[in-house]
Amino acid sequence: MAQPKRRTSKSKRRMRQAHTLQKSLTATSTCPQCGAPTQPHRVCPSCGSYRGRQVLTVAVDE
């Protein structure tokens, strides 16, 4: 079996993994109704709308 000549340094390994780390962050988009950051393909947590339609009634804390 072929073996690597040198052990990959922490720096080189982390440089490679930086890409993966960035991808694993949660994707965000903005709500067209209220402009709040939301996850794509999900009901907006702040106003309860999805695709320009009111889906949920969001309780407002006072």
The binding site for Zn ion (CB under 5 A) comprises: 31, 33-34, 36, 44, 46-47
Q: What's the min distance (Å) between Cβ of 57 and Zn ion?
A: 13
Tokens 């709308």 correspond to 49
Q: What's the min distance (Å) between Cβ of 47 and Zn ion?
A: 3
Cα torsion for 43, 46, 47, 49, to the nearest 10°? -10
Measured from the CB atom, is 8 or 46 closer to Zn ion?
46
Measured from the CB atom, is 17 or 46 closer to Zn ion?
46
Exposure on the CB side of residue 17, measured as CA atoms within 13 A: 7
